[in-house]
């Protein structure tokens, strides 16, 4: 009787919060991220899996561990208390490590999480790529993440071309360039904007492209309504794809610029007053819509914009047939993209551009991969430059201030404060285009911000907008507008050496 009581007491102790925590610690490795989030690395069968201690997957693992060890499931309270204890250990008594979603760089190699049940990844180096079971980085998987197929060697990227609705060589090169750039874990990512009328298969193209680098059960999402939603999406996916946009609000435009070049952003955690949810990093982003109407020049400067044409009725096919064709070649297309990434790693140190465009890291990376893609040297930069010229024109067309500013410059230029310029522009708009006065920014500060964004684009058409201060203690901010002199106007391919 005493032995049975002792066994029962030991079992109850084992299923207590303390017993669960001790049992778990013998089987896992605890750590925390730079943002102070607790994680556990768990061995499952013959591979390692990484769980957030606060997430449901880790709770399930704790319950399964207890059932396997003791033949009983502990209470929810005991599980919760054990998780709390393990989280504290991870935060205060364990090492700091980074976690990664889908892609990671480590020791000169790039790892791509295949997200399959065996937790395999592709390791890409200068010499080539291989599928590996043991990965030196911590990958995490959010709900909705789908597996990539095992890549096949010897494929051709050109197998993708007949599946997409593209009508120019430039469009093809820019699509492949975006995919190649999206398989780099660091560096700037240009936004890919697909526009087109009904029947141009822009949404289908977006799904196909995402399926090649970061497949998800919900591949396309609606436009995020706030910064918190965008931060959550960025933290849980490698590639963000937003469907059927009709416009890009100013806050979203700014946030997408930061996602493109890595400034990061933070939002208040839901239901709290002081805590922040911080996302720091860069992500490949894809937008599609009939006419998205991107107005911010800084966003267009970071974008590849492609206009797709409507597919004739006799050329259309069902989704089932299209996806069957795609799935048949997806493993070989993926293998060819990994070949391009290996080539870029190998040739990047020796790749030097004579003219360095904005998004310089992306452009240099793609140029280093051109050999594996079968393109003549410099052909990508030519296509990218032509697209940048089109984007520059779009940025200028989107602003009602451009023509008044050009007329002011043509009349000999102008210099003064933002308040004085606001009055001048309102008069210019009122006299030249009745009804457009409301298009003038409402405040001098807003006007200054708009002109700062437009200044690089205006420079391409020979208009120089400069900002300075008058000397002295009571200095004023001055804006100058003038026509450029010889040699001042830069081509888009020469704008910036880096972001």
What digits encode the pLDDT tens for the residues 306-333? 999 998 888 889 999 999 999 999 999 9
Specify if 240 maps to a domain.
Answer: yes
Looking at residue 439, what DSSP letter applies? Answer: G
Tell me which range, 100-104, 247-251, 356-360, 444-448, is most confidently predicted by mean pLDDT. Answer: 100-104
Contact 398, 293 (CB under 8 A): yes
CATH code of 467's domain = 3.90.1150
Residue 405 and residue 320 in one domain: no
pLDDT in tens, 235-273: 899 999 999 998 888 889 888 988 888 766 666 554 444
Q: Are residues 366 and 249 in the same domain?
A: yes
Considering the domain architecture, whether residues 266 and 374 belong to the same structural domain is answered as: yes
DSSP H or E run through 76: helix 76-92
Asked, for residue 292, whether it belongs to a domain, the answer is: yes
- Do 333 and 149 touch, CB atoms closer than 8 A? no
E-state strands within 321-380: none
Residues 242 and 319 grouped into a single domain: yes
Among 357, 376, 395, give the residue marking a domain's end. Answer: 395
Whether 117 maps to a domain, the answer reads: no
Whether the pLDDT of residue 213 is over 50: the answer is yes
Lowest mean pLDDT: which of 57-71, 294-308, 432-446?
Answer: 432-446
Q: How many CB atoms lie within 10 A of CB 309?
A: 15
Q: Distance (Å, rounded) from C-alpha 444 to C-alpha 446?
A: 5
- Considering the domain architecture, whether residues 367 and 481 belong to the same structural domain is answered as no
Residues 6 or more apart whose CB falls under 8 angstroms from that of 201 comprise: 164, 165, 308, 311
Based on the domain organization, do 189 and 79 belong to the same domain? no
Is a pLDDT exceeding 70 seen at residue 414? yes
Tens of pLDDT, residues 358-381: 889 999 999 999 999 999 999 999
> What is the C-alpha separation between 134 and 371, in angstroms, rounded?
30
**Strand 128-132 with 38-44, pairing:** unpaired
269 with 407, same domain: the answer is no
- Residue 173 domain flag: yes
Domain extent for 67? 2-96
Closest CA to 111 of 134, 95, 88: 134
Report the pLDDT value the prediction gives residue 436, as an integer from 0 to 100. Answer: 54
**Is 176 contained in some domain?**
yes
- Whether the Cβ atoms of residue 337 and residue 304 lie closer than 8 Å to each other: no
From 346, 370, 395, give the residue that closes a domain. Answer: 395
Which DSSP letter does residue 145 get? Answer: B
Q: Are residues 291 and 438 in the same domain?
A: no
Same domain, 219 and 347: yes
Sheet holding 95-96, edge to edge: 47-52, 38-44, 28-32, 95-96
| Domain end position, chosen among 96, 116, 145 | 96
Neighbours of 367 (CB within 10 A): 23
Q: Which of 165, 177, 161, 171 is nearest to 386 (CA)?
A: 171
CA distance 493 to 385: 6
196: part of which helix (H) or strand (E)? strand 191-196
Q: What is the pLDDT, as a whole number, of residue 434? A: 59
Q: How confident is the model over 392-407, as pLDDT tens digits? A: 887 787 788 888 899 8
453, containing H or E segment: helix 444-460
What distance, in Å, lies between the first and last C-alpha atoms of the chain? 76
Backbone angles phi, psi at 457, to 5 degrees: -70, -40
- 276 & 324 share domain: yes
Give me the phi and psi of 292, to 5 degrees please. -65, -30
Q: What pTM did the predictor assign? A: 0.84
CATH number, domain at 366? 3.40.50.300
Report yes or no on 325 lying in a domain: yes
Q: Are residues 460 and 385 in the same domain?
A: no
How far is 371 from 347, CA to CA, in rounded Å? 9
- Tally of domains in the chain: 3
141 in a structural domain: no
Over the stretch 121-134, which tens digit does the pLDDT of each residue have? 999 999 999 999 99
The predicted pLDDT at position 498 comes to 34
Residue 267 counted as domain residue: yes
Same domain, 387 and 410: no
Q: Is the pLDDT of residue 204 over 60?
A: yes
**Is residue 390 within 8 Å of 305, Cβ to Cβ?**
yes
Q: What is the mean pLDDT of the chain?
A: 87
């Amino acid at each position: 009787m005493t032995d049975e009581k002792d066994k029962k007491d030991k079992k109850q102790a084992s299923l207590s919060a303390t017993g669960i925590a001790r049992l778990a610690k013998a089987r896992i490795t605890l750590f925390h991220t730079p943002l102070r989030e607790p994680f556990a690395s768990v061995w499952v069968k013959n591979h390692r899996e990484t769980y957030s201690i606060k997430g449901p997957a880790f709770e399930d693992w704790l319950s399964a561990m207890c059932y396997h060890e003791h033949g009983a499931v502990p209470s929810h309270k005991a599980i919760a208390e054990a998780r709390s204890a393990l989280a504290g250990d991870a935060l205060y008594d364990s090492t700091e490590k980074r976690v990664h979603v889908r892609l990671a760089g480590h020791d000169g190699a790039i790892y791509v999480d295949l997200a399959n049940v065996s937790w395999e990844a592709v390791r890409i180096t200068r010499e080539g790529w291989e599928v590996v079971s043991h990965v030196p980085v911590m990958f995490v998987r959010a709900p909705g993440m789908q597996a990539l197929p095992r890549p096949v060697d010897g494929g051709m990227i050109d197998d993708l071309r007949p599946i997409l609705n593209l009508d120019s060589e430039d469009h093809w090169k820019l699509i492949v360039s975006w995919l190649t750039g999206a398989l780099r874990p660091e560096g700037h990512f240009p936004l890919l904007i697909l526009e087109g009328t009904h029947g141009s298969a822009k949404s289908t193209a977006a799904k196909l492209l995402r399926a090649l680098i970061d497949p998800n059960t919900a591949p396309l999402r609606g436009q995020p309504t706030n910064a918190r939603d965008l931060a959550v999406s960025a933290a849980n996916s490698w590639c963000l794809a937003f469907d059927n946009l009709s416009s890009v609000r100013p806050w979203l435009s700014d946030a997408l610029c930061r996602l493109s070049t890595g400034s990061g952003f933070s939002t208040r955690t839901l239901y709290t007053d002081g805590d922040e949810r911080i996302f720091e990093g860069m992500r490949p982003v894809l937008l599609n819509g009939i006419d998205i109407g991107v107005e911010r020049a800084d966003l267009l400067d970071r974008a590849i914009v492609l206009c797709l044409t409507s597919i004739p009725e006799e050329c259309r096919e069902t989704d089932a047939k299209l996806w069957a064709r795609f799935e048949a070649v997806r493993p070989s297309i993926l293998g060819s993209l990994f070949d391009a990434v290996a080539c870029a790693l190998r040739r990047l140190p020796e790749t030097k551009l004579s003219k360095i465009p904005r998004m310089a890291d992306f452009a240099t990376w793609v140029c280093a991969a051109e050999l594996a893609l079968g393109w003549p040297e410099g052909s990508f930069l030519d296509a990218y430059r032509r697209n940048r010229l089109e984007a520059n024109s779009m940025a200028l067309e989107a602003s009602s201030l451009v023509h008044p500013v050009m007329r002011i410059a043509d009349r000999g230029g102008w210099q003064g404060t933002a308040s004085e310029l606001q009055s001048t522009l309102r008069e210019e708009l009122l006299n030249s285009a009745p009804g457009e006065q409301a298009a003038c920014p409402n405040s001098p500060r807003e006007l200054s911000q708009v002109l700062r964004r437009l200044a690089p684009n205006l420079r391409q058409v020979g208009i120089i907008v400069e900002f300075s201060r008058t000397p002295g203690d009571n200095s004023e901010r001055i804006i100058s507008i003038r026509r450029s002199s010889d040699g001042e106007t830069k081509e888009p391919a020469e704008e910036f050496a880096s972001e």
